[in-house]
Amino acid sequence: MNSSVNRIVIVGGGTAGWLSAGIIAAEHFIAEHSASDAQSSQGFQLCLIESPDIPTIGVGEGTWPSMRSTLQKMGISETEFFRECSVSFKQGTQFYGWITGKDDTYAHPFTLPHKYSETNLAPHWQSVRDRVKFADAVCPQSRLFGDKLAPKNIATPEYAFNLNYGYHLDAGKFADFLRKHCVKKLGVVHISANMTAVNSSDNGDIVSVTTDSHGAIEGDLFIDCSGSQALLLGEHYGISLVSKKQYLFNDSALAAQVPYQNAEDPIQSCTLSTAQSAGWIWDIGLPSRRGIGHTYSTDHHTEEAARTELLNYIAATAGEQAAADANLRKITFDPGHREKFWHRNCVAIGMASGFIEPLEASALVLVELSATMIAEQLPANRQIMDLVAKRFNDKFLYRWDRIIDFLKLHYVLTRRRDSEYWIHNCETSSIPDSLQELLAIWQYQAPWHRDTSHIDEMFPSASFQYVLYGMGFTTQTDPMQRRADRETAKMAMSLFRENTQRTEQLINSLPTNRELIDKIYKYGFQKI
């Protein structure tokens, strides 16, 4: 039997389901299709079954810069996206209290250090480290988002930028927006129904899923976007979750939507991440409201204590009234990922594949990467699918390990000893071996291109630099020892100066995040 893989069924909506549908449909269904065409055609079919009864979790409110090209490929107008999904610009993350817990801060901007492909500025920064923060020395972006400025102006074409950016968005509105686009423009068939049964063939593949209102839906490949329940991969196939709680302790979150005190209050153009006694608080500025939440470890904190810290933060940054009015939503999760993600003819994306604290907004980017790999390597037939599945599993297990290493890096460099949580985070047993090795190497050489073993690495080595040197890590390099470094030393000083000039120039020319968003509502971006 040589059965072709033409019918794709996505189980579950939400941002994971609709983003996956859009990415796959943009790759395979670019020609216009009506819903009836898609069902009868011999070519690819893509349908998404969404329960009308299950609300989406909607926690992923921060994206990576990769979302720009993802949306562009799907044929989405950036202007419409801004207008319909409460979008603001995200240029990175500003961390508070992670080093000492007392008035310390550092930035992880999305833009790479100046001339990063040619020169590694990190060794040269060591000599000026007492005078200027690493991110400020090598890149204009941290100062820009410090001033709540936008990464571009209204005359910049859509998706283009002066400084690399991603988005903050309203996840609920985003899922609705993607649904409309997928159905109207990309030929995705939307089935509003509850799944009641999974039907297997003799060989163990899923042949169809039964729904309460649309009968059995047959398919060749089933994508599980059903959220943390993982109805197909987890419940049906019994692929278990591998807990990573020994490395990353946070397993609960309290989330709130907080209004601005004044309609004209500035909108942050980075995520704010403020360390607490047993976790950290995220603060995401949308044009209409802020999304604020506290993710913490239940082994180290009671819900009551976490709630108090969160309300204190809201009171301090949005006023007592906002704290009194805050409606907190509790989310619990087992930090970790499935043992594998693709099993037989079923692959999981989104929370069905795993979930970890949103410290570096890895949730949506994993959806993008997973759906893109499926779209690009969509097996032609069932025979080849097991090979594609193996590649997919290898790649995403590797990616999860890199995410865990990178998130853990934020914790292990702390000097905080004010609670068990921070003390436990620094214990060797809680640090993955792979990260311990990296830390050992970085004591003697700064991360750079040599640290990326894969061409499509999750985090660029620059991200490691920003966190390492932002948190005060010392690399004992002698920039004058290597011949190449001696030559670049002069170059480095002029690059630092160039960066300072460029920073001043951008600060003087870019609008604020709110000003630009208002202009997008009024005029929109041009395509060119």
Residue 72 interacting with other proteins (CB under 8 A): no
Binding span for other proteins by CB under 8 A among 51-59, 62-70, 150-158, 432-440:
150-158
Residue 82 interacting with other proteins (CB under 8 A): no
Q: How far apart are CA 64 and CA 78, in angstroms?
A: 15
Residue 333 interacting with other proteins (CB under 8 A): no
Residues 182, 81, 144, 295: is their CA dihedral positive or negative?
Answer: negative
Give the Å distances, CA to CA, from 80 to 13, 87, 89, 266, 286.
21, 10, 14, 22, 16
Q: Which is nearer to other proteins, 386 or 518 (CB)?
A: 518
Binding span for other proteins by CB under 8 A among 36-44, 256-264, 457-465, 520-528:
520-528
Evaluate whether 453 touches 440 at the Cβ level (below 8 Å): no
Residue 156 interacting with other proteins (CB under 8 A): yes
> For tokens 């000097």, what's the residue?
415
Q: Please select the residue that binds other proteins; options are 129, 390, 449, 527, rule is CB under 8 A.
A: 527
Q: How far is the CB of 519 from other proteins (least distance, A)?
A: 7
Residue 519 interacting with other proteins (CB under 8 A): yes
Q: How far is the CB of 522 from other proteins (least distance, A)?
A: 8
Closest to 471 measured CA to CA, from 402, 403, 411: 411
Binding span for other proteins by CB under 8 A among 151-159, 263-271, 342-350, 396-404:
151-159
Residue 122 backbone class (left: φ over 0; alpha: ψ -120 to 50; beta: rest): alpha
Residues 35, 39, 41, 42: is their CA dihedral positive or negative?
Answer: positive
Evaluate whether 70 touches 19 at the Cβ level (below 8 Å): yes
User: Between vectors from CA 397 to CA 395 and to CA 401, what angle results, nearest 5°?
Assistant: 115
Q: Please select the residue that binds other proteins; options are 31, 155, 440, 455, rule is CB under 8 A.
A: 155
Closest to 513 measured CA to CA, from 85, 58, 139, 168: 168
Q: Which is nearer to other proteins, 153 or 419 (CB)?
A: 153
Q: Please select the residue that binds other proteins; options are 28, 154, 275, 288, rule is CB under 8 A.
A: 154
Q: How far is the CB of 498 from other proteins (least distance, A)?
A: 21
* Concatenated DSSP letters of 262-306: STTPPPPSSEEEEE-SSEEEEEEE-SS-EEEEEEE-TTT--HHHH
Binding span for other proteins by CB under 8 A among 37-45, 148-156, 229-237, 286-294:
148-156
Q: Which is nearer to other proteins, 68 or 399 (CB)?
A: 68
> For tokens 């299709």, what's the residue?
33
Q: How far is the CB of 168 from other proteins (least distance, A)?
A: 22
Q: How far is the CB of 157 from other proteins (least distance, A)?
A: 9
Angle of helix 362-377 versus helix 66-73 axis, rounded to 10: 40
Residue 523 interacting with other proteins (CB under 8 A): yes
Q: How far is the CB of 75 from other proteins (least distance, A)?
A: 13
Q: Which is nearer to other proteins, 444 or 521 (CB)?
A: 521
Evaluate whether 248 touches 407 at the Cβ level (below 8 Å): yes
Q: In this structure, what DSSP letter does residue 157 have? A: P
Residue 298 interacting with other proteins (CB under 8 A): no
- H or E, element range at 106: strand 105-109
Residue 524 interacting with other proteins (CB under 8 A): yes
Q: How far is the CB of 511 from other proteins (least distance, A)?
A: 10
Which residues, 6+ apart, have CB-to-CB distance to 504 below 8 Å?
none
Q: Please select the residue that binds other proteins; options are 77, 126, 153, 192, rule is CB under 8 A.
A: 153
Residue 500 interacting with other proteins (CB under 8 A): no
Residue 522 interacting with other proteins (CB under 8 A): yes
Binding span for other proteins by CB under 8 A among 127-135, 149-157, 284-292, 378-386:
149-157
Q: How far is the CB of 139 from other proteins (least distance, A)?
A: 24
Q: How far apart are CA 471 and CA 339, in angstroms?
A: 33
Residue 210 interacting with other proteins (CB under 8 A): no
Binding site for other proteins (CB under 8 A): 153-156, 519, 522-528
